[in-house]
Structure formats: C-alpha cells, structure tokens
Amino acid sequence: MTTVGIIGAGNIGQALARGFVDHGYDVVIANSRGPETLADLVGELGEHARAATAQDAAEAGDIVVVTVPLKAYTEIPAAPLAGKTVLDTNNYYWERDGRIAALDEKRTTTSQLLQEHLPESTVVKAFNHIPAADILTDGSPAGTPGRRALATSSDSDEAVALVTRIYDEFGFDTVNVGPLAESWRVERDQPAYVVRQNRDELEQNLARAER
C-alpha cells in the first residue's frame, strides 16, 4: 500500500489526508505544532492515518505533499525527500508570506523555489488552485460531462503522470501546464486560479494568463 506523507495540516492538508485515506492510501501527516495536536484528526481518519513530525512524514512517505505557507518552505526537511516525488500545493500570498523579490520580479515560481530547496527531489505542482472545501466534494467519475479539471506542472513527465492518476482518483481531469517555469499560469490572480472549470475552459484560462 502506498504511503503519502503530508507536511502541513491546514485546510488543504486535512482535505487531502481524508481523500487519500478514502482512496486506499496510508497517510502520515505533520504540522508545525507537534503530532499530539493532530490526535483528533487522525482519530477521525482511522487506522490508515497517523500523526508524526515533518521529518517522520518525509521519511515515511512514498510520495509527499508539501502544503505549508510559502514562507515556511525552507523549513521542509530535504534529506529524507531525496529521490521522492513531492506534490507542491503552495501559493504566494505576500500579505502572509512577506515579500519575496524573486517572485515579485517574476524571475521564478513558487514551485521552482521549492525545487531549488529540494534539489534531490522531483517537485510537481498539484491541488494549488482549488478551494480545500471542493477537493472532496466536486470530483466526478471519468467521462462525466463538464468534469472539473485541475492543472499540474513539473519538469518530470513521470511526476505529471503520477498527479494525473491521483487527480483522476479524486474525480478530476488533468491539464499539464508544462515545466515548473510555466506554473505561474495557475497561480494567484491568474484566470485559472480557484475557479471551477472543465478541461477546455482550463486550457483557455491557462492560455489567457499574463505575467
């Protein structure tokens, strides 16, 4: 059984934890306040979930989700993530994260920052442009007319294929944005950000993005 490490237990992290457990994965979830603060959540999730430190979640996960405020991305433990695929849900909110010049000047993307921090890992953008409340409620079977689509982005075709499979399990079609350098197209304030869209609409919104 595949184990998913989740670093970050906010709204997105909790929704993904529930979704992964529901789809037959084991989950190891961590937050910044300590495993004991997640007792109620893992109790609700059942025997296929446990709380841990970020280090332990990184070590335990066959794949790992990073879903922390962007300002905390440099605190993600790099060594235990070497050789692993890391799903990045991060978005840049300068009001929360403080100003990051490389992003303000459009010299990089949030996912590229995480990839630079995790040079031995494979970073792939996932679940960053859907409200947490929609993750478990807005999916539908493959082939459903108007099925919601989500974007992904990575420098690895294998990572894109992995996220495509996960999206399908959660009930979403996939649009591949391309390499991490293009992931800005699905970030905050772009047409594709946190709106419900099917595959064709998402492709159109990605094309309309302006940097």
Strand order in the sheet with 149-154: 49-51, 26-30, 3-7, 63-66, 85-88, 122-125, 149-154, 173-178
Render pLDDT for 56-76 as a digit per residue (tens, 0 to 9): 999 999 999 999 999 999 999
State percent of the chain over pLDDT 90: 100
Query: What is the DSSP secondary structure assignment for residue 110, as one 8-state letter?
Result: H
C-alpha to C-alpha distance for 27 and 4, rounded to whole angstroms: 5
CA atoms within 13 A on the CB side of 141: 1
**pLDDT band at 158; cut points 50, 70, 90:** very high
Tokens of 29: 């979830």
What number is the average pLDDT over the span 167-181? Answer: 98
Q: Is 89's pLDDT higher than 90?
A: yes
Render pLDDT for 3-21 as a digit per residue (tens, 0 to 9): 999 999 999 999 999 999 9
Q: Across the chain, what does the average pLDDT equal?
A: 98
The per-residue pLDDT for 1 is 82
Render pLDDT for 39-62 as a digit per residue (tens, 0 to 9): 999 999 999 999 999 999 999 999
| H or E stretch at 165 | helix 157-170
CA nearest neighbour of 73 among 110, 122, 120: 110
**pLDDT band at 205; cut points 50, 70, 90:** very high
| H or E stretch at 83 | none
What number is the average pLDDT over the span 181-204? Answer: 98
The per-residue pLDDT for 104 is 97
> Which has more confidence, 1 or 9?
9
C-alpha to C-alpha distance for 165 and 60, rounded to whole angstroms: 21
The per-residue pLDDT for 65 is 98
What number is the average pLDDT over the span 153-162? Answer: 98
What number is the average pLDDT over the span 90-114? Answer: 97
Q: How crowded is residue 145: how many other Cβ atoms within 10 Å of its Cβ?
A: 6
